[in-house]
Amino acid sequence: MTKKRSALRPAERGWVLYDVGNSAFVMMTSTIIPIYFKNLTAAAGVPDYDSTAWWSYATAVCTLVVALFGPLLGGVADRRGWKKGIFAAFLLLGCACCAALAAPLNWMGFLALFILGKIGFSSSLVFYDAMLPDVAEPERMDMLSSQGYAWGYLGSCIPFVACLLLVLTAEQTGLGTVRATGIAMILTAAWWLACSVPLLRNYRQGAAAPAPEAHTRHLWDTFREVVRNKKIALFLLAFFFYIDGVYTIIDLATSYGKDVGIGDTDLVLALLLTQVVAFPFSILFGRLAGRFRPENLLQVCIGGYFFVAVFALQLDKAWEFWFLAVWVAVFQGAIQALSRSCYARIIPAGKAGEYFGFFDIFGKSASFFGAMLMGVSTQLFNTSKAGVAALALLFPLGWALLRRSMKAG
């Protein structure tokens, strides 16, 4: 127990700090960016439900691209020792596109640039997650993974509050909403990049996996290993279903809130509160993982998110959105951190990049499926609540598969 709670080492601190940096981008894409996009589409005469659908499709495209290329690049990184280099390339892509969103664009151009930035962000996380086994021993993974999400939530509030003040006081300062939002994009990109430097300095990749004669054949062999390992296969299926709902709720909460009539200020401030509340609960779940089986804690988190989806079906008041924001904060960091650390412990040593590539396929495929489900259902029934109803059903399915994984050898 003492070893788990000892001070973080330089490589561990750098790993945690990257979460502080990229979480600022997550916060922007959950609040200011979709609101700004909604305003762009409204000015162009695009109906609210259509703009929500387009935002859903953009999210789906991002996740599909990353899911397709994640395992391939992960395998290359494992065998060539290129984990840091590929990570840095996607990091720079994400930061550059985030800053470029400050340029004057129509809603289609803005959406296209957002897609590129989100691809850079999501791809960097494939390699960031795969760094966990190189940075920490198995007995420290739950703690470190939870620390990453916890400090990411709290640390992202620093640039976000500055960006929020810029946007909310735009008329008083004479900047105007468009210019203030552009400055906010640049500040977010700068924060993200600056917080990445310690990880790039201190990370050292572990022993590389042996290079096969044919990489694609080896990738197929690894896929067959995943399928044959019942515990890993069932865990990934469970992860696919429950994280589907989690990621879709994170990505589309603001758009959904606007559709049901919640004001911009309430949306942004409620989600800011989510970041603050998520910090202590992420730390708490990380410590509880030292006393209770992490898979059992995951089941609790899945149940919490099922309640979120069901409650959201009748959401139409600002206080209800605030209530849900706090409830989400209790489980948001824990369900992601515990999923990452549980998976890191059951995969073979030396293949973290490739196996986390498959982990990302299931996570990003889930995001693609959830975003497409939300978009199609919203346009089909002309209401966002149809998509939320479908998402709610995914949590019980993920819970059942997780229990089967726990029983597998």
Contact assessment for residue 259 and residue 48, using Cβ atoms and an 8 Å cutoff = yes
Q: 389: which 2 tokens?
A: 């109803």
For 408, list phi and psi in degrees, rounded to 5. -75, 150
Q: Which residue has the tokens 């996570």?
A: 363
Contact assessment for residue 199 and residue 15, using Cβ atoms and an 8 Å cutoff = yes
Q: Which of 294, 273, 275, 274 is nearest to 285 (CA)?
A: 294
Domain regions of the chain by residue span: 10-206+215-407
CATH 1.20.1250.20 fits 10-206+215-407, yes or no: yes
Query: Tens of pLDDT along 48-94?
Result: 777 877 887 887 788 778 777 766 776 677 677 778 888 899 999 99
Residue 27 to residue 229: CA distance in whole angstroms: 36
Distances (CA, A) of 122 to 28, 65, 119: 14, 10, 5
Contact assessment for residue 71 and residue 354, using Cβ atoms and an 8 Å cutoff = yes
Distances (CA, A) of 379 to 44, 78, 374, 387: 18, 42, 9, 10
Q: What DSSP string runs through 42-74? A: HHTT--HHHHHHHHHHHHHHHHHHHHHHHHHHH
Contact assessment for residue 294 and residue 142, using Cβ atoms and an 8 Å cutoff = yes
Residue 114 to residue 99: CA distance in whole angstroms: 10
Q: Which of 391, 375, 393 is nearest to 383 (CA)?
A: 375
- Quick one: how many helices (H) and strands (E) in the chain? 18, 0
Contact assessment for residue 67 and residue 360, using Cβ atoms and an 8 Å cutoff = yes
Coil, helix or strand at residue 108: helix
Output the tens digit of pLDDT for each of the chain's 409 residues: 334 456 778 888 888 899 899 988 988 887 788 888 888 888 888 877 778 778 878 877 887 787 777 667 766 776 777 788 888 999 999 999 999 998 888 888 999 999 999 999 988 888 888 788 788 777 787 778 778 878 887 888 889 889 888 888 888 888 888 889 889 999 999 999 999 999 988 887 765 554 444 444 455 666 777 778 788 888 888 888 888 778 777 666 666 676 667 777 777 777 778 778 888 888 888 788 778 888 888 899 999 889 888 888 777 777 777 888 888 888 887 888 888 888 877 777 666 666 776 777 676 666 667 767 777 777 777 776 777 787 788 899 989 998 888 877 5
Q: Which residue has the tokens 């201190």?
A: 202
